[in-house]
């Protein structure tokens, strides 16, 4: 019995690593630097290497919220077993891997969520309607919010209605506000996260006013640094800002996507075997890194070149809302697809310059793949687990 249990847990762990590799090769490894690659700010291979390291850091420092949500909040009344976790992870990973090799960015959040819900329902669990409402609201809003903001920022930059130097510096200040208020595991008490603003503001001893003061100080510092850099070398400063934004999105991808790979293991390893959550996060982050280094270049090329023609300004316009949406999802523990976030923002920024090479056919196939992956993973998760239970 013990051997069987250990063997089952081992298979579940391998399935989780396969899922992590698929995500690293697909969404978290390919999307963050795709706009930067499209703008020729970084090479495809170097982007794959950098995003892997940043994704690992994001997984360890920010991955807890989404991981716990995927493992415990998607279904009610039952706890995922090792067999259920194996079926869910292999189903989702298989669909994502198909997308990677076919060159289409399958939405990992859709496949994992669908598969976990499918096996949970097959176990006799109850739908978690409140959580589904949160998830679907973000999923539906993402293309409109992210694409709309990217379009608006890109149009403003292209039209020169606002001086470019001041506008980009102002956008950098907005990014500074977000960075100051995102949670990090190292800054909070055990098992919790805290932001830079909260950690430094508490030291000022003036309550919430301290957090506001720290936030404004960081925003001003970032805005001034970018403003000065733009004055020295406009093209180089745009490229550097674009690479920083790609790094922030890559870090956020690790914090979000690792939960899709290891979330189903939480009831088994954390709640059942007493393994610390951080250990799972490290393992999942390593899987993301491996996927980014070995499989991401193909998808980076596909996203950076096939959906729209991107220059530095449009790429910056796409990455800023992507970072904001990603951190919102991490904060609320909502599994979100980085393919959906980035592709929507790229298309929105691309349309700011006419159609700017936006491929309508490619976009149509991608949306179909997103919908099909959600429906297919839910049906496969339910069907495969029901069949396994019947046979065994």
pLDDT tier at 1, thresholds 50, 70, 90: very low
What does the pLDDT look like over 108-118, one tens digit per residue?
888 999 999 99
Is residue 304 within 8 A of residue 145, CB to CB? The reply is no
Dist CA 281 CA 289 (whole Å):
12
The share of the chain scoring above pLDDT 70, in percent, equals 85
pLDDT tier at 346, thresholds 50, 70, 90: confident
Q: Distance between terminal CA atoms of the chain?
A: 15
| Antiparallel, parallel or unpaired: β 126-127 and 194-195 | unpaired
Dihedral sign from CA coordinates of 273, 275, 281, 286: negative
Instruction: Give the residue ranges of DSSP H helices in 193-333.
Output: 196-204, 208-232, 234-262, 277-306, 312-332
Is residue 179 within 8 A of residue 323, CB to CB? The reply is no
What does the pLDDT look like over 240-270, one tens digit per residue?
898 898 889 889 988 888 888 888 888 888 7
| Antiparallel, parallel or unpaired: β 194-195 and 183-184 | antiparallel
Q: Picking from 48-57, 143-152, 163-172, 218-227, which range would have the lowest pLDDT averaged per residue?
A: 48-57
Encoded tokens for 322 = 């992507």
């Amino acid at each position: 019995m013990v051997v069987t249990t250990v063997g089952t847990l081992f298979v579940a762990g391998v399935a989780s690593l396969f899922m992590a590799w698929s995500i690293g090769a697909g969404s978290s490894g390919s999307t963050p630097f795709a706009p930067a690659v499209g703008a020729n700010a970084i090479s495809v291979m170097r982007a794959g290497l950098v995003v892997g390291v940043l994704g690992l850091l994001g997984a360890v420092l920010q991955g807890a919220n989404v991981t716990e949500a995927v493992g415990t909040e998607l279904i009610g009344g039952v706890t995922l077993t090792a067999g259920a976790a194996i079926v869910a992870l292999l189903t989702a990973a298989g669909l994502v891997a198909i997308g990677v090799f076919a060159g289409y960015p399958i939405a990992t959040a859709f496949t994992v969520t669908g598969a976990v819900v499918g096996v949970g329902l097959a176990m006799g669990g109850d739908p978690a309607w409140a959580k589904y409402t949160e998830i679907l609201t973000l999923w539906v809003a993402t293309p409109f919010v992210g694409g709309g903001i990217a379009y608006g920022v890109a149009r403003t930059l292209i039209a020169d209605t606002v001086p470019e130097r001041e506008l980009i510096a102002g956008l950098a200040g907005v990014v500074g506000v977000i960075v100051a208020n995102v949670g990090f595991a190292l800054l909070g008490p055990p098992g919790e996260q805290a932001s830079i603003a909260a950690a430094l503001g508490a030291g000022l001893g003036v309550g919430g006013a301290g957090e506001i003061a720290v936030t404004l100080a960081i925003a001003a510092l970032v805005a001034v640094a970018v403003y000065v850099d733009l004055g020295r070398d406009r093209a180089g400063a745009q490229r550097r800002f674009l690479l920083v934004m790609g790094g922030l999105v890559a870090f956020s991808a690790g914090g979000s996507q690792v939960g899709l790979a290891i979330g189903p293991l939480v009831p088994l390893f954390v709640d059942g075997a007493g393994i610390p959550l951080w250990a799972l996060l490290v393992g999942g982050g390593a899987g993301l890194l491996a996927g980014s280094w070995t499989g991401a270049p193909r998808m980076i090329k596909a996203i950076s070149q096939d959906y729209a023609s991107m220059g530095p300004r449009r790429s910056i316009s796409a990455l800023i809302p992507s970072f904001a949406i990603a951190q919102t999802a991490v904060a609320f523990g909502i599994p979100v697809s980085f393919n959906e976030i980035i592709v929507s923002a790229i298309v929105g920024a691309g349309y700011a310059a006419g159609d700017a090479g936006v491929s309508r056919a490619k976009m149509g196939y991608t949306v179909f793949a997103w919908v099909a992956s959600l429906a297919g993973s839910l049906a496969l998760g339910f069907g495969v687990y029901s069949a396994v239970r019947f046979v065994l």
